[in-house]
Structure 1
């Protein structure tokens, strides 16, 4: 039976070392280009429920009927599997890296019990300001060959996470301005298909606290992986007080918020690019927010909506910030209105 994860932890009972023979995750061992995977995972009931727990995201489409005819996986369900594809070649528990940037393209939802093939490549590597970076491109393909999700990520391969923090800026692309987490506080909350979708209008805010249990499960403790997100000793050896929330888990919080805002369009035309700015310790209360940055009329029936997005820590600093976009109906159908209400 195909397992739901990159590795099958049941093999440990037979004496199999899951990381045996894998490369040490250091810059000198990189080969560019270097294939990663392929791996096959199943978007089964357990995988969906587990992801819902880690993200505190129980949207009804993941537990019952959806606009796609049946139960579907969260838009971000496979995103961490893609990030972790490098552990098919490199030893996961010897990795002390730092995810710095993530970009995702959402092409189609994964359906319940669908077998999905993941494959990727390390396409570039470089050194900057004393840190060694690697760039990965990867994708998730459905059982019928269609693209579900595409990923491009940048990571510092090995570092001391406690020494790399406080970059505090996004710069660059997306809507073309620095994302600072500000919005028009007097504006009505934006709802797709209504006149409230205008530049400066806030997206519905999400408040969540990622506990140690949630961070550990998201960061593969079920596959016996030890890292700065799941293990106190590893975190402290890396210069941290306590474990930190994986950047990709924060990205998932944003993806869930965008699903409620964009509706089904998130699964078929969504794009997200974020940068990870400051670490988040487990148990730190977070605000996940966004603001409409621009609206484009694509034709009589569809709009392109650009937004800025962020995760804000309890101390007011942004931990994650970036940009997103989707093509949405000009007038909101029933499913978009119910998604916005979270029902």
Structure 2
């Protein structure tokens, strides 16, 4: 039997060569890819299956997130990775269109050691067939660790720490509009990622084995059961922000998320976000900045972050 990962490097911190080109890949955003992602995220909106404000079907906003995260497996053996995605940041410039061939490119640009763990930073982007930017990505990963022993990390720099606390004057809203103001809290969204969803999202169909799609790999990482990828949690947040901002999120959105502790498959989580600032733009539009967080059912913060996008134009 042929080794599908023959020639790829062992995913060890000592094997990094920074800066390191991780290659270029072309991906077809076809009906199957959109449907597969919809299953993994429960993201079946009409824009992805019927028509959109951009003319024709488009892809979900974070459809290419995991493709970009996984670009390192062009060089490193994917099935030997027992890492932990600690941070994900994406800038949304334009939607990918149905049947469009997009080009992904990536490189390792920085590495460092913190608390005895080796971290690596990847910068990547997805470009449309016409050369336009679709999304830009920056991710931070502990290249190899024991996920079950991670005790959690801080939620950010001291001046931008996300507490997940809601002020007394917060007003709960379903979405944002011309009357949006600071301290508006998005209605809480709940979700559960099943093992089947996590496994498909985490490349089960490509015969890749990892702590997200295989029980033994999870146990080897001192986990009770498979865990949900950070990129999959990121997609849940992106979907909620599209509901909040509308089409403008695809062309002006930004999310930065930090993954603090693992989330088990089948574990219910809640997603919340609150407006922390609103900034007038030169064209008369307004841009909202948010803090966001995800909690487990026991109340513990598992993911925190920040986001921003243009508010819907005044009618």
**Same fold judged by TM-score > 0.5?**
yes
Q: Which segment is superposed worse, 72-81 or 202-211?
A: 202-211
User: Which of 4, 12, 20 matches 1:34?
Assistant: 20
Where in structure 1 do 4 or more consecutive aligned residues deviate above 6 Å? none
Name the structure 1 match of 2:69.
83
SS in 2 for 1:264: helix
Q: Tell me the C-alpha RMSD between the 2 structures.
A: 1.5
Residues 1:282 and 2:265 are matched in the alignment: yes
Distance 1:93 1:117, change over 3 A: same
TM-score w.r.t. the length of structure 1 is 0.88
1:78 and 1:308 mapped to 2: Cα distance? 23
Provide Cα deviations, 1:220-274, integer angstroms capped at 9, x if missing partner: 0000010001000000011100011001100110000011111111111111101
Contact 2:83 2:147 (8 Å CA) reproduced: yes
Measured in 2, the distance between the counterparts of 1:180 and 1:50 equals 34
1:45 to 5, 8, 31: 31
The answer to whether structure 1 residue 242 and structure 2 residue 220 are counterparts is: no
The answer to whether the 8 A contact 2:178-2:311 is kept is no
- Partner of residue 316, structure 1: 299
Counterpart in the other structure of 2:172: 188
1:74-113 mapped onto 2 (5 Å cutoff):
74-113=60-99
Shift of 1:327: 1.6
Partners of 2:288 and 2:302 in 1: CA distance: 24
Q: Which residue of 2 aligns with 1:67?
A: 53
* 1:148-178 deviation per Cα after TM superposition (whole angstroms, max 9, x unaligned): 0110111101000011132252335xxx532
Q: TM-score, normalised by structure 2?
A: 0.96
Aligned to 2:185, the other structure's residue is in SS state coil
Conserved? CA contact 2:175–2:243, under 8 Å: no
For the residue of structure 1 that corresponds to 2:47, the secondary structure is: helix
Deviation at 1:76, TM superposition (A): 0.1
**Pair 1:211-2:194 in alignment:** yes
**Matched residues in 2 for 1:46 and 1:16: separation?**
27
> Any idea what SS the aligned residue of 1:124 has?
strand
- Tell me what 1:336 maps to: none
Deviation at 1:299, TM superposition (A): 4.3
Task: Tell me the secondary structure at the aligned position of residue 171 of structure 2.
Answer: coil
Please give the residue correspondences for 1:258-269 in structure 2 after superposition, counting only pairs within 5 Å.
258-269=241-252
Segments of 5+ residues of structure 1 without an aligned counterpart are 1-14, 333-343
2:146 maps to which residue?
A: 160
Q: Report the 3-state secondary structure (helix = DSSP H, G, I; strand = E; otherwise coil) of the residue aligned with 2:70.
A: helix
In 1, the alpha carbon distance for the partners of 2:193 and 2:135 equals 24
Do the aligned partners of residues 106 and 124 (structure 1) sit closer, same or farther apart at CA in structure 2, a change above 3 Å counting? same
